[in-house]
Structure 1
Amino acid sequence: MAYRAKVIALDHVDGSFKEQYKRTYDYANEVLTRNLGSTVQVKVEPNEDEPIFKRLYVFLKACKDNFVSCRPIIGLNGAFLKGKYGEELLIIVGRDANDQMLAYSIMEVENKATWKWFMELLVEDLGGEPICASCTFISDQQKTPIRQFQKKKKIPGKQLKRLMWKATTTTHPQTWEKEMTNIKELNIEAFKYLIKIPLRYKSRSRFTTTSKCDTLVNNMSEAFNSVMVHTRSKLIISMMEETQFYIMKRWASNRTKSQSLSRIICPKIKTRLNKESHLTKFKIPSWSAEKLLEVRHASQVGEKLVVDLDKYECTCRKWAISGIPCCHALTVMKFLNLDVEDFIPCWFRKATYQETYSSIVYLINGKNMWDITPYNDIFPPRKRALPGIPKKKRRLEEWEFIRDDIRMRKGGLHKRCGICRQMGHNRTSC
């Protein structure tokens, strides 16, 4: 009874599912009218005079303008919608100058055909294959190798996981080979499993230097999903309006934030530089040429790297991959009394950050003010019976199940047994 009452109440507030699907074309027309230059595509399944909804793709003009000032790295992700038809929301997220959504789409199901349709539209909107060929795409499957291996092989993981992440995060090929040797000695099955994965997908040591981004995971897309989790249970048009409203608020907030910056370099990049700068006290530079120097560690024998400021390179490859000077490069800059800001790429500067959010996301009118389009009404997609009970909560990571002195327990209190009066358990487990 409570569920039925909730459905009736939602119908009064947002309208019924069927009524919202009927106005899909009207919504698309309103978005295109209010945000000139945007792309909205509606795909339906022909069914006599009753076309059935399949897909909806939206790429706002402000998001197109935004990507010009972003680094050439794009995060892909998908999320299940919590409505009655079992659809999925696909999103594309870029990275701005301050290291922080481009397009979004609703699909009947997430598979190769729907992703192909989505990516073809995206490539066309971003300027075609010549531009997208230089972009790096991060899928939503980036965390699976370690998890799946440990799950399938049932190998307890702390030491193995630590070695895997060391091999993944290292920026130099020789260091990667050393860590892989350590994994081989610890567990030969883990080594065989990892060595099958193409190197460019699993280690920073094989990353290219075009994207100027050293991220290993797709958390930028996951973060957007977590923000929009409450909207995924809404009706289709209500959800699309909420998504556009969130983008508008984010654009306006970042536009105001960018205007208040006092430094040439964005805050998060400055914080990262400060961390690298803290390590320079252990480095000793030695002159070879005007801007070509060797940097050694004060105590670790054998750690010697070459920094070439003219080429913006250090042999550790950290600078070339991320675009942010490493501790070795900062050591040389301090030694030569050079300004670090002169070696920061345009992607991390205040001017680029302001340019990124200079475009405006225009909101749309209410449903009562939309123009009626001449197209046939769209009907909801066929219901997909998904296994199990629908879940609204996200899956927690392993570390989130741990409760210690830092992370609060249920209600913020420690358990106390009513029988023995000891802390840490209750009557049922005494």
Structure 2
Amino acid sequence: MTFESGSQFKAAVKNYAVYNGFNFRFKRSTENIVEVVCQEHCPWRIYASWGPMREAFVIKAVNDEHRCNRAPTNIQADYRWIAEHFLDAIRRDMNYKVDHMMQELLEKYGIIVSRGTCYNARSWARKILHGSLNEHYQRLPCYVAELQKVGRNSTFQLEVVHDIHNSLPRFSRLYICFEPLARGFREGCRPVIGLDGCFSKTELKGKLLSAVGRDGNNQMFPIAWAVVEGENQASWTWFISLLMTDLRIINGYGWTIISDQQKGLANAVAGLLPHAEHRNCARHIYSNWKKKGHSSDILRNLFWKAVKCTTREGFQRVIGQMETLKEAAAQDFVEVGVQKFCRAFISEKPKCEVIDNNMSECFNSFILPSRSQPIIDMLEYIRRAVMERIVKKRELFSESVDSLCPQIRRVLEDNRLKCRTCSVIHAGYLKFEVSTHGEGFVVDLRAQHCTCRYWAITGIPCPHSIACIHFIRADPTNYINEWLKRDSYQLAYSYGIPPMNVKNLWRENEGSYLFPPLMKKQPGRPKRRRRIDASEAGPSGVRLTKKGVQMHCSLYNQGGHNRKTCNNTRPQPAYEGSKSSLGGFSKLLKSMTKFQV
């Protein structure tokens, strides 16, 4: 049997040893000669060296007799060997579970491998598939050049900083915005942008900033994303400045920005978009508000009732109820700034009633598998996922005959059912008085406005308006805002992202190497998951906090304390030799001593 080299021969011997379950050692291992022997009392031996004219590596001597038993652990099954055998599985799933790896090695090869070895094998396999960290950042200029070649009118901004110690060019930021996405958003989506940042799960950490819009079907529409060093005012100012250029935003007039309460982002929006409406996510506000001691179910219901109320009069009534129940809760609620997260105070121009940043959260979940990959693989995953999504959304309504998007049609039909209890009085000139459940509203069909403000802030007729539209025997579909119709939806997805060559066809840019940013090693094991708040539901849907649960004493079944802090007299055990009775235990020990004597 011949081999191409000594390394190939070593790999074959290693596979043979693992398959047959015995350990060996290299007695001699040089460039020209390899001799392998088994354990001390086993005669198994194999010897190979280069043949004549070095045309092949040839086995010269073999003793195939084994006297040793099969070993449950094998030193040849190191992390490199395991990585090579699980390469295809890890290529399909980069988070291939270590438990599955250990179980498969035991069932297939009959060997026991430690968990740490499997972790190292998975890391080594990822390095084989993705390349090293330096290789990715060195090829980043080539990646940007390839992006610029396929997206000529798009924006790809690469920021580089020079190391103060050795003047090496190091990566700082990268902004990506494809012209088809920006154009589709400008022409077919409402002027509402969700801004958010999520952390990278690699050893370099960093942040991935994103700008996400809402299409005509109330679903996310990715606009731009960027990799930055952290989420601060400088990075957000840089990101928003480039985004304003791509979307042709001047001072923010008529635009709505939705985000969390990150201070750097708030300062950047206030400085660059002074006339834009800046909403904050109501879920984040409620989480912070509840931590101030306002965590009862009644206060929670009043909070969301005030947030979702569309009229200022109704809002004041709910705040009055909250103030009567707990004055500090109402004061903390108002101090946040009700114009930022309450529907009674939001603008009517964007035709969007959203008071949370769920679209950005959806995008973060959409790209979740890529956040543990190196930078080029992560960006390529996002590009391909968005490119595929654009095509699927475009084909979604290719054969539809409905003029409305499915989500909008569903809301309209729900409002139609609710309008059955409305009583309509026509006042002339398409103006009406509508009464329902003891409440009254004024509807103006020409102005497309109802005093409940639902129609004005959503662009969809409310139940009171639909009752008036039915009164004049018209179709409510004709009164829906144009942004929510199928034509606008198809216009948003009519521009696709162009395909791009893979890595092996990228043109090398000589002299434009880039180095990764300096890594600050933190103590402890790197965190992969976001820290879940006690008020949030865990993966199983169960809340992690025990706040509000009354403790009970197992001794007397009394509330307010547990067995450890019980101050009552503990009951005596039924028998004297119990462990809880030291005297009984001493007597038992003495009796055993006498018996032994």
* AA at the equivalent of 1:117: W
Count of aligned positions: 400
1:370-411 Cα distance to aligned partner (Å, 9 max, x none): 12235521111111345764333455574634979xx9xxxx
Residue 558 of structure 2: aligned partner = none
Structure 1 contact 73–136 (Cα < 8 Å) conserved: yes
* AA at the equivalent of 1:149: W
- Give matches, 1:189-268, under 5 Å: 189-268=328-407
Comparing both structures, which one devotes a greater share of its residues to helix? 1
Higher mean C-alpha displacement, 47-56 vs 180-189? 47-56
Residue 310 of structure 2: aligned partner = 171
Partner SS, residue 537 of structure 2: helix
* AA at the equivalent of 1:181: G
Partner SS, residue 397 of structure 2: helix
1:128 to 2:268 alignment: no
Residue 421 of structure 1: aligned partner = none
Unaligned runs of 5+ in 2: 1-116, 262-280, 543-597
Structure 2 contact 260–284 (Cα < 8 Å) conserved: no
Partner SS, residue 460 of structure 2: coil
Q: Which has the larger Rg?
A: 2
Structure 2 contact 294–329 (Cα < 8 Å) conserved: no
Which of residues 537, 550, 559 is equivalent to 1:400? 537
| Identity among equivalent pairs (%) | 32
Distance 1:182 1:317 in 2: 22
Residue 425 of structure 1: aligned partner = none
1:45-75 Cα distance to aligned partner (Å, 9 max, x none): 1236521111010001111111111101000
- Give matches, 1:355-394, under 5 Å: 355-374=491-510, 376-386=512-522, 389-394=525-530
Shift of 1:363: 2.3
Shift of 1:343: 0.9
1:333–1:13 distance in 2 versus 1, CA, 3 Å:
same
| TM superposition outliers: structure 1 runs of 4+ over 6 Å | none
1:87 to 2:206 alignment: yes
Distance 1:283 1:379 in 2: 67
Residue 127 of structure 2: aligned partner = 11
CA-based RMSD of the aligned residues comes to: 1.8
Structure 1 contact 25–375 (Cα < 8 Å) conserved: no
* AA at the equivalent of 2:147: V
Shift of 1:310: 0.5
Shift of 1:350: 1.0
- Give matches, 1:96-135, under 5 Å: 96-100=215-219, 101-130=222-251, 132-135=252-255
1:188 to 2:327 alignment: yes
Structure 1 contact 50–377 (Cα < 8 Å) conserved: no
Task: Kindly indicate whether structure 1 or structure 2 has the higher relative contact order, using CA contacts under 8 Å at least 6 residues apart.
Answer: 1
Distance 1:338 1:374 in 2: 68
Residue 76 of structure 1: aligned partner = 195
Structure 2 contact 175–226 (Cα < 8 Å) conserved: yes
Calculate the TM-score normalised by the size of structure 1: 0.89
Structure 2 contact 174–228 (Cα < 8 Å) conserved: yes
Structure 1 contact 78–140 (Cα < 8 Å) conserved: no
Shift of 1:187: 1.3
Distance 1:227 1:282 in 2: 41
Partner SS, residue 520 of structure 2: coil
Unaligned runs of 5+ in 1: 408-430
Higher mean C-alpha displacement, 47-56 vs 313-322? 47-56
Distance 2:501 2:226 in 1: 21
1:384–1:277 distance in 2 versus 1, CA, 3 Å:
farther
Residue 161 of structure 1: aligned partner = 300
Residue 341 of structure 1: aligned partner = 477
Distance 1:197 1:279 in 2: 34
Structure 2 contact 449–455 (Cα < 8 Å) conserved: yes
1:27–1:94 distance in 2 versus 1, CA, 3 Å:
same
* AA at the equivalent of 1:234: Q
Distance 1:403 1:117 in 2: 39
Shift of 1:230: 1.2
Distance 1:245 1:223 in 2: 17
Distance 2:169 2:354 in 1: 43
Residue 425 of structure 2: aligned partner = 286
Distance 1:28 1:403 in 2: 41
Calculate the TM-score normalised by the size of structure 2: 0.65
Shift of 1:163: 0.2
Residue 467 of structure 2: aligned partner = 331
Partner SS, residue 102 of structure 1: strand
* AA at the equivalent of 1:346: E
1:388–1:314 distance in 2 versus 1, CA, 3 Å:
farther
